[in-house]
Amino acid sequence: SQTIHQWPATLVQPVGSPLSLECTVEGTSNPNLYWYRQAAGRGLQLLFYSVGIGQISSEVPQNLSASRPQDRQFILSSKKLLLSDSGFYLCAWTNWAWVGRSDEAFFGQGTRLTVV
């Protein structure tokens, strides 16, 4: 069965420090991978998505970046965190083989990031 791992669960980082959040998927191949951010009590903002190794689409210009070094690994990074980067970060995957065929998305349990 497919599983998605996201860590760490919580993170407190000082302003200006680097960030690296990792997400890995098991039990599927060539998934589409996503990073979302959710502010407290708000909806999900799509940050990045990837349809393959090294292919990253950025939705929101900011000081965050994403990389996909392996098929089932998706990393969210920052060189210098801002206070506004605080939030709940969620990784997700889908496996849409064909145009027009859409299946459900599977989410990790999220990382609560607090920048202090």
Partner 1 sequence: SQQGEEDPQALSIQEGENATMNCSYKTSINNLQWYRQNSGRGLVHLILIRSNEREKHSGRLRVTLDTSKKSSSLLITASRAADTASYFCATPLQGGSEKLVFGKGTKLTVNP
Site string for partner 1, 69-88 (x = CB under 8 A): -------------------x
CB-wise, 9 or 82, nearer to partner 1?
9
Segment lying near partner 1 (by CB under 8 A), choices 19-27, 63-71, 73-81, 105-113: 105-113
Q: How far apart are CA 63 and CA 68, in angstroms?
A: 17
How does 84-110 read in b/e, with b if 16+ C-beta sit within 10 Å?
ebbbbbbbbbbbeeeeeeeeebbebeb
Our finding on whether 108 is near partner 1 (CB under 8 A) is yes
Residue with smaller CB distance to partner 1, 50 or 78: 50
Q: Tokens 């799509």: give the residue.
A: 46
